[in-house]
Structure 1
């Protein structure tokens, strides 16, 4: 797998979903993220990160609760949100960073 820094250093927006398998709201977000990928396709990369398996990364980004979402473009964090996010909100945030 590519290094995290390589994954977020793209010209297209990268939506990161910090989640946990035991988290109910994270399960709620799964179909929303699937729909988002269907709607936006190659215009966005969606990266799911299990906080239990990637504790150092979660700590680095100060993830205190899940689900937590971040949008990166060219290696820079552009947006951050937490909790269940409606599809239209994620689309709206991502649209700001699409070419």
Structure 2
């Protein structure tokens, strides 16, 4: 299972109204560290699909979302729970570090 793309049009339905926590990966094509994190997030999505949803927002294509959630550097990840930002993670990290940051949602 890979992280699916979400747009300004689908964000509310897929993220804010989700029954389970949703990690939103804010990224862009030109961002090298974003490309390093992407396969790690896909692995976490596959291994934990019943506990957390993982989606991607391209900041170049969805600038209003990037502005609304104050994304100033990427990769930036935010975990939404019940429509609110519960956790923020900035920067590329190896899988064990990301899993540690997400432990509350993966257990």
Q: Structure 1-normalised TM-score?
A: 0.87
Question: In angstroms, what is the RMSD of aligned CA positions?
Answer: 1.9
Alpha-carbon distance in structure 2 between the residues aligned to 1:33 and 1:3: 20
1:89 to partner: Cα distance: 3.0
Work out which of the residue numbers 46, 49, 64 in structure 2 matches 1:41. 49
Please, which runs of 5 or more residues in structure 2 have no aligned partner?
Answer: 1-5
* 1:24 maps to 2:32: yes
Matches within 5 A, 1:55-66: 55-66=63-74
1:3 matched residue in structure 2: 10
Range with bigger deviation, 36-45 or 68-77? 36-45
2:81 matched residue in structure 1: 73
1:4 to partner: Cα distance: 1.3
Q: Structure 2-normalised TM-score?
A: 0.81
SS where residue 57 of structure 1 aligns? helix
Deviating runs (4+, > 4 A) in structure 1? Answer: none
Equivalenced residue count is: 99
Matches within 5 A, 1:79-98: 79-97=87-105
SS where residue 96 of structure 1 aligns? helix
The answer (yes or no) to whether the contact 1:14–1:47 under 8 Å persists in 2 is: yes
